[in-house]
Amino acid sequence: MDNSLKKIISSGFSSLTSAFGSDNSSQSALGIDIGSSAIKVVQLKKKGGKAVLETYGAISLGPYAQTEIGQVTNLPTDEIVKALQDVMKESNVTTRLGVMAIPSSSSLIFTLSLPANVTEDKLPMIVPIEARKYIPVPISEISLDWFMIPQEVISFENSMNKQSSTVAPAPSVEVLVVAIHNDILTKFQEILKKTELRSDSFEMEIFSNIRSAFDHDIAPILLIDFGASKTKLSIVESGIVRVFHVVNRGSADISKNIAQSLSIPFTEAEKLKRTVGLETNSNPQVAEIARLATEYIFSDTNSVVLAYEKKYNKNISKVILTGGGSLLKGFKERASDNFHVEVVHANPFSKTEAPAFLDNVLTQSGPEFAVAIGLALRSLS
């Protein structure tokens, strides 16, 4: 297992159930979220057992790719480094200690069901062999990490399934596996080196999202991370990712469709998307274009949720929204109508101490910074 990837899963879970450790360090920590259209950074400092917000900031990547703000980019490493250095400077970042997120869309996340007699010490030998069934490239090109799902969770599920079936499920253990291409890790290691940042590991953005957006939720929760290029779906139970799925639609697709349909520049389309969203009273034509894109996401999501409910005989109890796309006007209300459960925007800044006059701003921008905050919290825990 690659050292830079070691324990990215378990470290994400542990912070859900434990407070900060002993307050023996006043060092600040930086969370870095490099997305397809922007970079977000959050700097926190541990003080009195609490996470204190020191600074945060974001920068659009469009101009670095000679395109418009809000457009999806695929920048070379040097341009990403330049953008990261710029946002750190503009945000007055002072620490060199940071954790960087690996995009979930650049990885595979899946669950292995193994015989009940498999113990954790056997996983280093078994997981790479079993993972080949899910990974379309040579296993030598991949770095793996895994987490054995606690037996009490599986036992509870089995007992629930027995109530609805005369056939008891075969005893098994489940292992959550993450696979990341070595080229991706090399790229992020190069970014760290060129920005002179220190980090002992990386983390998948899904686990950063969980850390910042969840409390001590036990019942199944659907996390929708509506990004610029893709929408990531996770069903999380007791802090454990049970299902992960990527929808190849993002908020930038809405702006692109508006621009094409109305024959207007992308910049103008981006503004229309933000001001109109799904509200038909404001501009029915724009709202309809946005609706078509979001309905594709909801349709895909419904299939994922239905498959989960059939497999585990459980229903989703709540939906948490993160990502800049989730701030689309009317999206939360449409999600409520679709899922018929409580739908909330993540409020990750609530896990930090910040000046009271920033409360409204931080609450509104919270979903966009969920990953960066989760990363910084990891460094402080």
CATH number, residue 255: 3.30.420.380
Tell whether 2 is covered by a domain.
no
Tell whether 1 is covered by a domain.
no
pLDDT at 232 over 90: yes
Report helix, strand or coil for 308: helix
Report helix, strand or coil for 119: coil
pLDDT at 169 over 80: no
Mean pLDDT of 155-179: 63
Tell whether 188 is covered by a domain.
yes
Residue 89's Cβ-count burial label (10 Å; 0-12, 13-18, 19+) is exposed
pLDDT at 78 over 70: yes
CA angle (104, 107, 110) in 5-degree steps = 95
Contact 33, 375 (CB under 8 A): yes
pLDDT at 87 over 50: yes
Tell whether 274 is covered by a domain.
yes
Rounded distance between C-alpha atoms, residue 85 and residue 325, angstroms: 25
Domain hosting 352: range is 8-380
Contact 222, 342 (CB under 8 A): no
Mean pLDDT of 46-65: 95
pLDDT at 166 over 50: no
Q: How many CB atoms lie within 10 A of CB 141?
A: 11
Instruction: Express each pLDDT in 287-336 by its tens digit.
Output: 999 999 999 999 999 999 999 999 989 999 999 999 999 999 999 999 99
Rounded distance between C-alpha atoms, residue 333 and residue 47, angstroms: 38
Say which DSSP state 362 is in. Answer: H
Question: The sheet that has 240-247: what strands, in order across it?
Answer: 240-247, 231-237, 221-226, 318-322, 342-345
Sign of the torsion formed by the C-alpha atoms of 167, 170, 171 and 172: negative
Mean pLDDT of 198-214: 92
pTM exceeding 0.75:
yes
User: Does residue 339 or residue 154 have the better pLDDT?
Assistant: 339
Tell whether 3 is covered by a domain.
no
Mean pLDDT of 49-66: 96
Q: What is the pLDDT of residue 164?
A: 45
Q: What is the pLDDT of residue 2?
A: 43
Nearest to 147 by CA among 114, 170, 102: 114
Instruction: Give me the percent of the chain exceeding a pLDDT of 70.
Output: 88
Q: How far is CA 369 from CA 28, 58, 83, 129, 227, in A?
A: 17, 9, 17, 37, 11
Place of tokens 């409390």: 215
Rounded distance between C-alpha atoms, residue 261 and residue 274, angstroms: 16
Tell whether 110 is covered by a domain.
yes
Domain count, the chain: 1
Q: What is the pLDDT of residue 151?
A: 65
pLDDT at 145 over 80: yes
Instruction: Express each pLDDT in 308-317 by its tens digit.
Output: 999 989 999 9
